[in-house]
A = this chain, B = another copy of it.
Amino acid sequence: MTARPPSEQTLELAAFVPFRLNRLAAGVSEHLAVVYQRRFGLDIPQWRVVATVGPQQACTAQSIAASTRMHKTRVSRAIAELEARQLVERASSAEDRREREIRLTKAGRRIYGELVPLALAREAALLECLSPEQLCGFLGALDTLERYLHLEN
């Protein structure tokens, strides 16, 4: 009983939220890339690993995979690269010798210490252009959508 047949419906990609989200996420990533890529030679997976290991004393590959929602192979390769550059080190866990405990090296901690403030500043600059109501609604919407899609870590 709709007035118009479905074929008359149209879709403007530029107004379609899923598309806009993809584009925005790519834009924000690019906006952020200068701090970890151009400056420290890290790509996104490597930066995520460093950011995840950073606050902790040690963690395993799969705990990183779980909290970053990256595929375990992507995590594995990022760690291997970081180890080759001596930014992290791996040691077999004593209680479960399948696991390998991952820690930042001294050089890794130095990069982490430099990188985090820059990344946070870049995030803050981004959010500063929003009005308080926009910011509030935006962050709330992020929460709600993450729960709706079961993305919470």
Q: A residues bordering B, Cβ < 8 Å?
A: 6-7, 9-14, 16-29, 31-32, 48, 51-52, 54-55, 67-69, 109, 112-114, 116-117, 119-120, 123, 126-127, 129-131, 133-138, 140-142, 144-146, 148-149, 151-153
Contacts and interface: CB of A to CB of B under 8 A. Distances in A.
Number of copies: 2
A16 B119 contact: yes
Contacts of A10: 54-55, 116
Contacts of A6: 113-114, 116-117
A9 B149 contact: no
A130 B144 contact: yes
A113 to B, nearest CB: 4
